[in-house]
Amino acid sequence: MVAPSIALDESGLLFELILLLALTATGLALFERLGLPAIAGFLVVGALAGPGALGLVADPERVRALAEMGVIFLLFEIGLELPIERLRELGKTALLAGGSQVLLTIALVAAAASLVGLPGPTAWILGGLVAMSSTALVMRILADEGQIEAPHGQLAIAVLVFQDLAIVPLLLAIPFLAGGSDQGASDLLLSIGRMIGGLALVLLILRFGVPRLLNRVAEARSPDLFSLLALLLVLGSAFLAEELGLTLAVGAFLAGVAASSSPYAQQLFSEVVPLRGVILGIFFTAVGMLFEPTVLLEHGALVVLYLVTTLVLKTAIVALAGPVLIQSSLRVSLLAGLVLSQTGEFSFVLAEAARQADLLSESLYQVVLAGSIFSLLLSPFVIRIAPGLSDSVARWWEGRLAHEESEPAAETREVPRVIMIGYGPAGQTLTRLLRAIEIPYRVIDANARSVRAAQDHDPAVFFGDATRPTVLRHLGVENARLVVVAISDPLATRRIVSRLRLLAPDVPILARTRFVREVDPLDAAGASTVVAEEFEGSIELVARSLDLFGIPAGAIARFTEALREEGYGAIRSPAALPLDPWLIELLDEVGTEWVDVPEGLEAATTLVGLNVRAHTGCSVLAVDRDGRSVANPEPGFVLAGGDRLLVMGDSASLSALRQVLEDASAGH
């Protein structure tokens, strides 16, 4: 029989867990409704429910022990994703931009903290706290705004990759920093050796044990067993690492690295991510509960100082590192810096580990906690003003340093008939076509690496930031026959189009965008034609479906062209509204169509023998055989397999003709 005190304790923990789940759901629903990040909602609701406010949960420390598992799942997921594929993909950018951001932030914050009297270990940890940004928040906002593929989105992701990897050595450094003042050199070396030995042992076990275990379980073909193994792998590796003197998070990360080389990595990812999302929401809610509102009264100035330092310093470092190290434009780098200006989930993990190691006092911990929470709350608003702010700074910098501005090479006397802005897949395809038909063009792109690779075979590709009016003037947009804007950044596309329209009021501007919501803003900015990938994909889907139902290609072409001429209005209408009848009538209009005669047609089959007009209602206007055409063939014209018939008729007539030809080919 269970003792009453234990039962009560378990009942209290269950109640707190249920309450925590309810608060997490409330924070998510409320902030999603307001269009704000869910992480901010978790933090705010947690702070309101914590002992410092309403006191709905009396002991958040107990709940936090469970909530910290969310971080374990997050580190395991990062280990699955980062080390090979994404690092190889982002490579140099992550190393240069991310490395400079993390190292410079730690060094500058540590130096400033030491100057005001904080101990060296505390100063270094404070630098690590400021250096981290929120992967979850930034990725969510970039995805919602369609900016992941934009230049500043790619730069921000590269920096986040380095930050996520940097958390592992930062966590490993805490025991050394905590023991540095009390231990002698021999003791410190012994601790380092013990930790390295533990790290090697964990890696050895995971490297050779995990792939074999995954193979055996996969052979059993039991989805439930695989799900249990995924959970066991995450928690077991974390427990093993902690027992060997490492941290839970480091063990989970190493398990993810070991599993990433397995062919079952994607299945593991799908098993872990749903759990991680729920538990991470609980984690942020529990972190909010640890916030003490009284810290704003007692240490308000320090909270503001921490917040301002975090926002300004990280933005400035990324904004300077981009142009200097990876040759991105100031506008792109500043946008990425503003996106990354907040502190993130690993700041809370690192702060908690540092507090437990006595590297952060309770008051300093509360200052860091409050400043980090406010940075996350402010982040959506900072990101919203980021485009305008980055444009203003870039224009100011352009005015100060106009003579040093990176522009295309000196203009030639030949004015390019087509100017292409952006050298991605769409730009490369169009330039190949223009080169083939000998139409002169000039291409400008803000990605220095792509430009260097392109200039080896195409001297008409130049480096430059097309959001700057001076660059557009230098390209000679006023005299172009066509300007094509095909970049991945929707905000930059809108600005470029509006500036092009001011500089060249009569030049056609063809803009490409990904999403439906960008069509109207680009029309308003002055684009002559907007090609929306989302729309074109929908139209292609409709066309392929109609083709499978036997609708003639000509009728499909008329129908899809009408959709485009309507400005995609039919596609943008609510799904409950039927299509306009006139659009449907286009599918039934009489038109001309080429129809193939199937192979295997019986010998001496003639038009009159098939009785085409009577059976189908079609008129055969011409027959094409091996490149030679016979116009208005006689009724006795003998058909052969592989012929092509130019036929006039509506959709039903053409479908009937195809059926007649197939029956004749089958010997019916």
Q: Residue 407 carries which side chain, given as an amino acid letter? A: E
Share of the chain above pLDDT 70, in %: 82
The answer to whether 246 and 69 have CB atoms below 8 angstroms apart is no
User: Does the pLDDT value for residue 5 go beyond 50?
Assistant: no
Range among 53-67, 120-134, 516-530 rated most confident: 120-134
Average pLDDT score over residue span 428-432:
88
- The confidence score (pLDDT) of residue 102 equals 93
Range in 202-216, 425-439, 528-542 with the lowest mean pLDDT: 202-216
Average pLDDT score over residue span 388-397:
79
- The confidence score (pLDDT) of residue 403 equals 46
Q: pLDDT (tens digit, 9 = 90+) per residue, 600-623?
A: 777 778 888 888 877 788 888 888
Give the number of C-alpha atoms closer than 13 A to the C-alpha of residue 543, restricted to the C-beta side: 18
Tokens of 646: 């130019």
Q: Residue 293 carries which side chain, given as an amino acid letter? A: P
- The confidence score (pLDDT) of residue 546 equals 78
Whole-number Å distance between alpha carbons of 5 and 309:
48
User: Does the pLDDT value for residue 555 go beyond 80?
Assistant: no
Range among 184-193, 228-237, 405-414 rated most confident: 228-237
- Burial-class residue 111 by CB neighbours within 10 Å (0-12, 13-18, 19+): exposed
- The confidence score (pLDDT) of residue 63 equals 59
The more confident residue out of 169 and 527 is: 527
The more confident residue out of 570 and 220 is: 220
**Where are the alpha helices (H) located in 84-184, listed in sequence order?**
87-93, 99-115, 120-131, 135-144, 151-179
Average pLDDT score over residue span 387-408:
65
Label residue 405 by pLDDT band (50, 70, 90).
very low
> How high is the mean pLDDT of the chain?
78
User: Does the pLDDT value for residue 413 go beyond 60?
Assistant: no
- The confidence score (pLDDT) of residue 67 equals 59
Average pLDDT score over residue span 179-196:
61
The answer to whether 122 and 359 have CB atoms below 8 angstroms apart is yes
Tokens of 520: 């109207």
CATH of 4-390, one of 3.40.50.1100, 2.60.120.380, 1.20.1530.20, 1.20.1260.10: 1.20.1530.20
Whole-number Å distance between alpha carbons of 298 and 366:
11
The answer to whether 634 and 663 have CB atoms below 8 angstroms apart is no
The more confident residue out of 345 and 435 is: 435
User: Does the pLDDT value for residue 469 go beyond 50?
Assistant: yes
- The confidence score (pLDDT) of residue 109 equals 93
The answer to whether 294 and 52 have CB atoms below 8 angstroms apart is yes
The answer to whether 319 and 333 have CB atoms below 8 angstroms apart is yes
CATH of 418-527, one of 3.30.413.10, 1.10.510.10, 1.20.120.1690, 3.40.50.720: 3.40.50.720
User: Does the pLDDT value for residue 338 go beyond 80?
Assistant: yes
User: Does the pLDDT value for residue 409 go beyond 60?
Assistant: no
The more confident residue out of 305 and 663 is: 305
User: Does the pLDDT value for residue 574 go beyond 70?
Assistant: no
Whole-number Å distance between alpha carbons of 509 and 478:
11
- The confidence score (pLDDT) of residue 575 equals 53
Give the number of C-alpha atoms closer than 13 A to the C-alpha of residue 146, restricted to the C-beta side: 15
Whole-number Å distance between alpha carbons of 337 and 341:
6
Identify the CA nearest to 107 among candidates 134, 81, 82, 128. 128
Provide φ and ψ at 482, rounded to 5°. -160, 140
Domain 590-668 in this protein, CATH class: alpha beta
Label residue 663 by pLDDT band (50, 70, 90).
confident
Q: pLDDT (tens digit, 9 = 90+) per residue, 75-99?
A: 777 677 654 555 566 667 778 888 8
Domain ranges of the chain: 4-390, 418-527, 590-668
The answer to whether 86 and 267 have CB atoms below 8 angstroms apart is no
User: Does the pLDDT value for residue 201 go beyond 90?
Assistant: no
- Burial-class residue 516 by CB neighbours within 10 Å (0-12, 13-18, 19+): middle
- The confidence score (pLDDT) of residue 38 equals 79
User: Does the pLDDT value for residue 254 go beyond 70?
Assistant: yes
Whole-number Å distance between alpha carbons of 412 and 442:
11
Q: pLDDT (tens digit, 9 = 90+) per residue, 347-376?
A: 888 888 888 888 898 889 999 989 988 898
Q: Which residues are within 8 A (CB) of 554 and not within 5 positions of it... i.e. 6 or more apart?
A: 591, 592, 593
Share of the chain above pLDDT 90, in %: 11
- The confidence score (pLDDT) of residue 70 equals 65
Label residue 310 by pLDDT band (50, 70, 90).
very high
User: Does the pLDDT value for residue 156 go beyond 80?
Assistant: yes
Q: Other C-beta atoms within 10 Å of 218: how many? A: 16
Whole-number Å distance between alpha carbons of 179 and 71:
25
Identify the CA nearest to 100 among candidates 155, 154, 149. 155
User: Does the pLDDT value for residue 108 go beyond 90?
Assistant: yes
Average pLDDT score over residue span 173-186:
66
Range in 52-61, 116-125, 234-243 with the lowest mean pLDDT: 52-61
| Chain position carrying tokens 């995971």 | 206
Range among 190-194, 213-217, 577-581 rated most confident: 213-217
- The confidence score (pLDDT) of residue 11 equals 60
